[in-house]
Amino acid sequence: MPDNSVTSKGALGATKKADSADNADILHAEHPPYLRHHFNSAEQQADAASFAMWLFLLTEVMFFGGLFTAYLIYRNWYYPAFVAGSHQLNVVWGTTNTFVLILSSFTMAMGVWCAETRRRKGLVLCLMLTFILGLCFLGIKTIEYREKIEMHHVPGFHYSLQSFLDPASNPEVYKEYHDKPLALDMARHTEIYFSLYFLMTGMHAVHMIIGIGILAFMIFRARAGAYTSGHVTFVENFGLYWHFVDIVWIYLFALLYLISRH
């Protein structure tokens, strides 16, 4: 296996300390500067990084999977409460946000392509568009959360059962769905629906905020040309993370907003 790491070890061992710096420069010229010495090749290094990223995403699948399982169980138990709770969500904002997030996934995918084909300006543009679309998503989410706060649909001491005990008191929702009043014990279970709603969309939003933070860092580095000189691992792996967050939203949108709509 005649690879760089073996030769460099032998050469460095035989060289005196004084000129080992010169020697290291020569040896580094034989391979891309980003290749760590414990990898045989740049391909092996990229494969290892991608594998590790997928393992991380598996832990994320199980993390959100637990939340989805909890949602499915409670929905089976307290079905009428979950239908009534779902009717309180604004499907127009939800749909808009789905479009925004899918667009941001597309701009991110294009960003990865720009990095792979060494287009620095294209990469910066794509990352900035992804950044802006991510902020749009959070902005719309904030509008939705504010509606819930105003309606006293945030679980806790100020939670109000009025929309569920007397649906006609909320004419905007009532004229579309004509919900029947729920019995008190079932109406109280709408709080479980909204607990899960805030937990799941909240954890999703935390992932978005982390992603947007990393995007800002990447825009800064991309402008300096960091990802357009052949080493695209960071951009590719961030792309995987961003698409994963998109997938979580695709399911959240279907489960929280859509399946009780008709």
Instruction: Kindly tell me which residue out of 34, 106, 159, 174 binds other proteins, with binding defined by CB under 8 A.
Output: 106
35 in Cβ contact with 222 (< 8 Å): no
Ramachandran category for residue 178: left, alpha or beta (phi over 0 → left; psi -120 to 50 → alpha): left
Q: Given candidates 109, 165, 199, 216, which one binds other proteins under the rule CB under 8 A?
A: 109
Residue 108 interacting with other proteins (CB under 8 A): yes
CA proximity to 4, closest of 33, 34, 43, 37: 37
d(CA 181, CA 84): 9
Q: How far is CA 247 from CA 23, 73, 153, in A?
A: 49, 21, 26
Beta carbons of 39 and 48 less than 8 angstroms apart: yes
Q: Is 243 a residue that touches other proteins (CB under 8 A)?
A: yes
Cα separation, 143 vs 155, in Å, equals 18
Q: How many residues interact with other proteins (rule CB under 8 A)?
A: 53
State yes or no: residue 55 binds other proteins (CB under 8 A). Answer: yes
179 binds other proteins, rule: CB under 8 A: no
Residue 117 C-beta: closest distance to other proteins, Å: 7
Work out which of 143, 183, 224, 254 binds other proteins, going by CB under 8 A.
254
- Report, in Å, the least distance between residue 257 CB and other proteins: 8
Smallest gap from residue 213 Cβ to other proteins (A): 21
DSSP track, 177-222:
H-PPPPPHHHHHTHHHHHHHHHHHHHHHHHHHHHHHHHHHHHHHHH
Report the nearest approach of other proteins to the CB of residue 208 (Å). Answer: 16
Contacts to other proteins by CB under 8 A:
1, 3, 40-41, 43-44, 46-47, 50-51, 54-55, 57-58, 61-62, 65-66, 68-69, 72-73, 76, 91, 95, 98-99, 102-103, 105-106, 108-110, 113, 116-117, 239-240, 243-244, 246-247, 250-251, 253-255, 257-259, 261-262
